[in-house]
Structure 1
Amino acid sequence: MILPDGYSDIPAGKIAAVVTHLEMTARPARRDDPPGGWSLRKVDAPALAWYRDLYRRVGEDWLWSSRAQMNDAELAAIIHAAGIEVYALVVDGRDEGMLELDFRQPGQCELVYFGVTSSLVGTGAARFLMNRAMERAWSGDVQRVWVHTCTFDHPSAVAFYQRSGFIPFRRQIEIADDPRLDGTVSRDAAKHVPIIK
């Protein structure tokens, strides 16, 4: 369906975001790491409670909800699958950032989830994490790395991905139930997206 020019109504109880898909088809030039005491830890077969906690702490303010809505079997089937890699950004012994890579499609790597907790936004931690993501994503036989972000994410997300070497190639409108209304996400989350009941 092609949306007409102009305004389109979104039903009450729903949220709508503009999703931008970005890709790179060649390894980008390496960018220097910012100063900071971060490290990256690979998490093999992540415990579901650990994953859910980090996913919430990193993504709740950006309305990440799809994984929070999954039952344990659905979540485990994805994050324990061959070709999925999960990493934590570690700061002072605490997991404060998330990187999830999907290598299941031959020749491709998707940055499925990427982000840091709110206290690390603007500190350089995301740049450190992206540098590690690029090292890992391009370490094998990959011809394409891609990611998508949306207007619920940090306002600088698209520019950050472009500085990292990604090029936008597709835009979509995503409409979904507001996860704050059913308790999937805290009612106080994402104050930049108003709740319309």
Structure 2
Amino acid sequence: MNAVAVPELAVTVTQLEMTSKPLRTPPPPPLARHLLMRAEPATVSFYRYLYDTVGANWLWTDRREWDDERLADRLSDERTDVYVLYVDGVPAGFGELFQEGADTTDLAYFGLLPDFIGRRLGPFLLWSLIDLAWSRPIRRMTVDTCTLDHPKALAHYQRAGFVPYAQRQVRKPDPRLTGRLPRDTAPHIPLAV
């Protein structure tokens, strides 16, 4: 029996780095009551809630493919820090920092829940995560973004001080056609053909 090929999305991935802590004035904090808190460690169910809610609109699927044991191992790894931004007591966004080596921290995931996009929380959260990463004795911070992410993501990272150092083209099965995400997810991204 032959497997049916799933149409793929063409995706451009841009890798960025920062080789010193940026000297800049941070964006103002949100006007609403807010708290940025480290989840110590984040539970699998809470992390999945954050990842799935933030990432669905951008077709994030990597962590959806991990079983609970693999995800629990990552979340309990001392090199992983998950920070959650709360606004008026509600989770508004999150960021995951991963210490790749003695001198490099990767911003593995970063984003806002849909209800909080457009409220100027992104710059505050991103710059807070950058400050947290550079509070360690590192020499480099990295982040990847792609053409499926928010249209302003690349510029947002560059304004924060990241510089592109590599770019690659990848193809990935459209998760809305594999059943990993509902077909009506991310309507702003055309279905692969």
Q: How does 1:62-141 map to 2 (within 5 A)?
A: 62-141=58-137
Structure 1 partner of 2:21: 27
Q: 2:155 aligns with which of 159, 167, 170?
A: 159
The alpha-carbon deviation at position 35 of structure 1 amounts to 3.7
In structure 2, the gaps of 5 or more residues are none
Which residue of structure 1 aligns with residue 36 of structure 2? 40
**Aligned sequence identity (%):** 37
Alpha-carbon deviations, 1:104-141, whole Å to 9, x = none?
31100100000001222221111110121011110011
Give the letter aligned to residue 22 of structure 2.
P
TM-score, length basis structure 1: 0.89
State the distance in 1 between where 2:73 and 2:7 align. Answer: 29
Query: Is 2:46 the partner of 1:50?
Result: yes
Q: Displacement, 1:12? A: 4.6
The 8 Å contact of residues 54 and 96 in structure 1, kept in 2 or not, is answered as: no
Computed over aligned residues only, the root mean square deviation of the Cα atoms, in angstroms, reads 1.5
Give every structure 1 segment of 4 or more consecutive aligned residues whose post-TM-superposition deviation is greater than 4 Å. none
Instruction: Give the gaps of 5 or more residues in structure 1.
Output: 1-10
Whose helix proportion is higher, 1 or 2? 2
2:94·2:110 contact (CA, 8 Å) conserved in 1?
yes
Letter in 2 for 1:186: P
TM-score where L is the length of structure 2: 0.91
The answer as to whether partners of 2:92 and 2:113 remain within 8 angstroms in 1 is: yes
Report the Cα distance in structure 1 between the residues aligned to 2:64 and 2:31, rounded to whole angstroms: 30
Matched, 1:143 2:125: no
Residue equivalent to 1:190: 186
